[in-house]
Structure formats: C-alpha cells, structure tokens
C-alpha cells in the first residue's frame, strides 16, 4: 500500500490495475503508461493471460511476483505497471493490508475500476477475501459500474462509491445503486469528480441512501478540461446540507468554495 495525495483517504492499495473505460480525463492511464513495462520480458513467464473472446474485451494479466524496470539512468527499480494499463491482478499485493496494523482509510484500486465489466469475478472475490483478512481498516471502493456491487460482500467497514461527472452519470449510476440497496443496507457514496456540468442532485428518496458526497475538479493540463463554476459546487453543498449528507470538497475546488470550503467525513 502507498501513502497518497488523495485527500479523502490515507492509503491507496492496488491489487488490480488497469482499466478499459478510456475516460479522456483519466490520470491513472497517464501514470501507468509512464511507468509501464518490465526490464526483462523473459521474466514474464510469471504473467498469465487469458482472452475474453465472448465479451470482446482485451487480455487479462496476472502477476505472481514483483518485477523490475530500467530507469533513465540504467538502474533497476520496482516495476509497478509491467502490463501498462491493461487489466492486471498483482497477486503478490493481496496481503498488503495485513501488514498495516493501525486502522487506515484505504482507497481500493485507485489505478483501476475493480468492478469494470471485464474484471473476472475471481479477482473481485480475491480482493474481498484480502479485505476480510485485515478487518481493522476502512475500505473505500469506486466504480463506474455499480451494478456489480449487488454481488459483493457487505460490511460496516466497506464504503461503496460511484463516479459521477455529469447528470447522465448520476441518474444512470443511481439505477445501479438501486440494485445494491434493495439487497442490503450499505455505505454508499458519490464521487462527483471531475465535475463537468451543473449537477441536479437526486430527490429525497435517493438522498436517504447516499451517506457521503465527494466533489472535485479535473486536475492537470489536458486540452479541453472543464473549469467548474462556483455555483456548481455550492448547489451540491446546499442540497447535501438540506439532506444531512456530509460533503468532502477536494483541494481542487478550494479556490471556488472560498470560505465555504468543507471536508466532512461520514464516520466522524
């Protein structure tokens, strides 16, 4: 697990990396491509690939031992993304939460969508088994495919989020939340980041299900990046305040919120 600059969690943990969504604003793809590859590809016998011909998705990779890559100076360093941004299970990382005894807020798979349609059920089961083996932590999951939450374990220390960038995302993903919520009482949250337009927050029926809202702007220098307006942020904050939902504003919107900048957690 790694310390992180993501301000709503303590650590990131990436037993699975890679994603096939191809979001234009994705920071993870740039990082994975920058640090992709391994020094000696003859070592890749420890990587197993299977084609998913039925679904039409790309290859899956599994890595059982850490690998190395050569840096610009010619030295060897740990290779975090030997397969680039292809979906990859790093089996040697599954026991990492057990090595940290003090409770942490862990963002699971910040460099992947663990619940993407291309991710094998076995991978998801293995990740949740690793979470269950280290119950001292609070685990936060985030996906654009919340329908798959209906099939995963539930626990008080699991927080299930969905990524929202616009109103279409919000209402299509809330349907996925409906499938999950009808099955059990869960810790559900929205991550409205990067916010691309003025968001019309759900009515009270949906607000009763959402326990936390994160809001943030796109970072980096991507051509065509959307600069949010203050009113977009404050409309979300006011709707959440009325519904009694804690709001966590990321540092990327501090200049917009000004004195109204808040960073609230649902667990106190």
Tokens of 143: 């996906």
Beta strands in 120-184 (DSSP E): 138-143, 158-164
Supply the pLDDT for residue 160.
93
Rounded to 5°, angle at Cα 233 from 227 and 237: 170
133-158 average pLDDT score: 93
More confident residue, 179 or 10: 10
Q: Give the SS3 label for residue 79.
A: coil
Confidence of residue 201 (pLDDT cuts 50, 70, 90): confident
Q: Using alpha carbons only, what angle is made at residue 264 by residues 227 and 100, rounded to the nearest 5 degrees?
A: 105
Asked if residue 50 has pLDDT above 80, the reply is: no
Written as six digits, the tokens of 47 are 């990587």
pLDDT classification of 75: cutoffs 50, 70, 90: confident
DSSP-derived secondary structure letter, 238? H
Write down the pTM of the prediction.
Answer: 0.89
Higher pLDDT, 224 or 57: 224
CA distance 243 to 154: 24
Residue 43 buriedness (CB in 10 A; 0-12 / 13-18 / 19+): middle
Span 241-268, pLDDT tens digits:
998 999 999 999 999 999 999 999 999 7
């Amino acid at each position: 697990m790694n310390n992180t600059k993501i301000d709503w969690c303590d650590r990131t943990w990436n037993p699975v990396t890679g994603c096939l969504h191809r979001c234009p604003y994705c920071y993870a793809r740039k990082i994975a491509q920058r640090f992709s590859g391994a020094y000696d590809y003859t070592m890749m016998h420890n990587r197993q690939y299977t084609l998913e011909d039925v679904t039409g998705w790309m290859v899956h990779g599994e890595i059982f031992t850490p690998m190395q890559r050569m840096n610009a100076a010619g030295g060897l360093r740990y290779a975090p993304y030997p397969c680039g941004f292809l979906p990859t299970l790093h089996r040697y990382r599954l026991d990492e939460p057990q090595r940290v005894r003090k409770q942490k807020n862990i963002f699971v798979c910040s460099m992947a969508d663990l619940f993407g349609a291309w991710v094998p059920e076995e991978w998801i089961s293995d990740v949740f088994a690793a979470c269950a083996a280290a119950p001292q932590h609070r685990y936060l999951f985030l996906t654009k495919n919340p329908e798959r939450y209906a099939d995963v374990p539930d626990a008080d220390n699991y927080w299930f989020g969905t990524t929202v960038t616009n109103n279409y995302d919000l209402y299509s993903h809330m349907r996925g939340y409906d499938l999950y919520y009808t099955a059990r009482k869960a810790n559900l949250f929205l991550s409205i980041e990067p916010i691309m337009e003025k968001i019309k927050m759900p009515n009270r029926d949906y607000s009763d299900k959402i326990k936390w809202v994160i809001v943030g702007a796109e970072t980096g220098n991507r051509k065509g990046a959307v600069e949010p307006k203050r009113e977009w942020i404050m409309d979300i904050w006011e709707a959440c305040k009325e519904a009694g939902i804690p709001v966590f504003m990321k540092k990327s919107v501090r200049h917009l919120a000004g004195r109204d900048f808040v960073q609230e957690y649902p667990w106190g």
